[in-house]
Amino acid sequence: MAGYSKELLRRAAIHSALGEPARLAIIDELSVSDRSPRDLGSRLQIPSNLLAHHLDTLENIGLILRSTSSGDARRRYIRLDPTNLHTIGPRRVSTRKPLFFLCTHNSARSQLAAAIWHARTGQPARSAGTQPAAHIHRQAISAAQRNRIELPDTAPSALGRIPHNVQVVTVCDLVHEELHAPLDWWHWSIPDPVPSGKPKAFDAVVAELEGRVNQVINSTVTEKGVKS
């Protein structure tokens, strides 16, 4: 028998696990949005006991991560592990809707997310908060400048009615849970940098958001099969 490398065996295990359609469907769903186990089960019509088995398998081969909600500590979110995304490839048809990012104060995460999405894709993006602050946080502005991101020179916006024909993305666990987000919304579980107030916390959010945006871009295809 050939002396296969550990890396090759790891990749083989990933491809073997994804030979199960339900697991591949889970990866497709997580390519654009973090999901709670309950939401995953509802979206994909997978019974809870079978879903738990599939999630354990995907976690064991390093494709998913689990985290505790910063809003409700009883709730957990599942997300893709970005270190292994290169082994999977494009998975789902891209959205052509403008993105609408939501957080609590619209002073950091959602502002940065909208700016990064627009910069990377050229597509329109907006943001709002359920309890908007008086101004964009100064550390968010500084982090944007350090990372060459152009933030709009506007005050945070209050969430009114959800605009028609947009893809909503919550970037705050608390807002996602308070609004009882519909299953067609996306959720990115991004830690709030404001309580820390330190530049490195805001830089970490920028890096996380850039990774999420790149993940969506690299994991989606257009209807003709060309990467968006």
Could you read off the pLDDT of 16-58 as tens digits, one per residue?
988 999 999 999 999 999 999 999 999 999 999 999 999 999 9
Percent of the chain having pLDDT more than 90? 72
Q: Could you write out the three-class secondary structure of 108-150? A: CHHHHHHHHHHHHHCCCEEEEECCCCCCCCHHHHHHHHHCCCC
Which residues contact residue 182 at a Cβ distance below 8 angstroms, ignoring those fewer than 6 apart? none
Mean pLDDT of 85-113: 82
Percent of the chain having pLDDT more than 70? 90
- Contact between 88 and 220 under an 8 Å Cβ cutoff? The reply is no
Residue 143 has pLDDT above 50, yes or no: yes
Mean pLDDT of 80-93: 69
What gap in Å lies between CA 82 and CA 64, rounded to an integer?
8
Query: What is the residue extent of each domain of the chain?
Result: 7-87, 93-221
3-state class (DSSP) for residue 221 = strand
Q: How confident is the model at residue 225 (pLDDT cuts 50, 70, 90)?
A: very low
Bridge partners, residue 221, by sequence: 93, 227
pLDDT of residue 86: 64
Q: How confident is the model at residue 152 (pLDDT cuts 50, 70, 90)?
A: confident
Instruction: Assign domain 7-87 to a CATH class.
Output: mainly alpha
Question: pTM to 2 decimals?
Answer: 0.86
Residue 227 has pLDDT above 90, yes or no: no
Which CATH number is correct for 93-221, 1.10.8.100, 3.40.50.2300, 3.30.1360.120, 3.40.50.880? 3.40.50.2300
200 or 164, higher pLDDT: 200
